[in-house]
A and B are shown apart, each in its own frame.
Chain A
């Protein structure tokens, strides 16, 4: 079955540690996204990528980094510079980045800072 796989589902981090969240898709989509979801707030865009080896900052990119070396993969690193990283992280993809609002989401990764 085609879809988006995020791992791990749950992750605990100590203060000062970097952690990397994995996102893999087998939908052959060009565009991929990372969103953050906090209780009572809408999804906020962290980074997006419309094509391999290219990505742009979203609204809340500070303290995060990404790479897009393969079409299928878009990992997100939460660095120690992110002051409030505890949240639910969602990876998504779409056929292209400009002409569709139909995003396919993974099941999410919940990060907790101890």
Chain B
């Protein structure tokens, strides 16, 4: 069964304290891996697409990387406005229309 697991469930950081969020996946064949940011009470907002192992994407303080089994979302020198839930999703070869989402990592950055 295709599965996406995110860790940790929750993460508290001090402003400026860099860290990484993990998304591990077990799928029959990966067509793409996607990161989203979700603020409380809002819909998710698209961040990155990764297609193949070794690929990296960056946006401001965020960098997403991909291996054959997992993806990392690195947050460098985070600010309080980076506080949100970060969702990982995959699209598989078997069901190109559907995204399989992980349960997310709740990030809190304290000033």
* Residues of A participating in the B interface, judged by any CB pair closer than 8 Å: 4, 6, 31, 35, 40-45, 48, 50, 56, 58-59, 90, 92, 97-99, 101-108, 110
Residues of chain A lying within 8 A (CB to CB) of residue B89: 42-43, 101
User: Chain B 12-46, CB within 8 Å of chain A: the 1/0 string?
Assistant: 00000000000000000000111000000111111
Q: Are A31 and B97 within 8 A (Cβ)?
A: yes
Q: Are A108 and B4 within 8 A (Cβ)?
A: no
User: In the assembled complex, how far is the CB of residue A61 from the closest CB belonging to chain B, in whole angstroms?
Assistant: 12
Q: Are B102 and A101 within 8 A (Cβ)?
A: no
Assess A42 versus B101: contact at CB under 8 Å? Given A101-B34, A101-B89, A107-B42: yes
Assess A98 versus B96: contact at CB under 8 Å? Given A43-B87, A92-B43, A108-B41: yes
The residue that B45 contacts in the complex, of A35, A44, A105, with Cβ under 8 A, is: A105
CA of A102 to CA of B48, assembled, Å: 8
By size class, the interface of chain B is: 20 to 34
Residues of chain A lying within 8 A (CB to CB) of residue B9: 40
* Residues of B participating in the A interface, judged by any CB pair closer than 8 Å: 4, 9, 32-34, 41-46, 49, 87, 89, 91, 96-104
In the complex, how many residue pairs between chain A and chain B have their CB atoms under 8 Å apart? 62
CA of A40 to CA of B105, assembled, Å: 10
Q: Are B102 and A42 within 8 A (Cβ)?
A: yes
User: In the assembled complex, how far is the CB of residue B101 from the closest CB belonging to chain A, in whole angstroms?
Assistant: 4
CA of A43 to CA of B42, assembled, Å: 13
Residues of chain A lying within 8 A (CB to CB) of residue B44: 43, 90, 103, 105
Residues of chain A lying within 8 A (CB to CB) of residue B97: 31, 48, 50, 56, 97-98
Smallest CB gap from A4: residue in B: B43
User: In the assembled complex, how far is the CB of residue A2 from the closest CB belonging to chain B, in whole angstroms?
Assistant: 14
Q: Are B43 and A108 within 8 A (Cβ)?
A: yes
Assess A48 versus B98: contact at CB under 8 Å? Given A40-B103, A41-B103, A101-B34: yes
The residue that A102 contacts in the complex, of B33, B46, B87, with Cβ under 8 A, is: B46
Residues of chain B lying within 8 A (CB to CB) of residue A35: 101
Residues of chain B lying within 8 A (CB to CB) of residue A101: 32-34, 49, 89, 91, 99
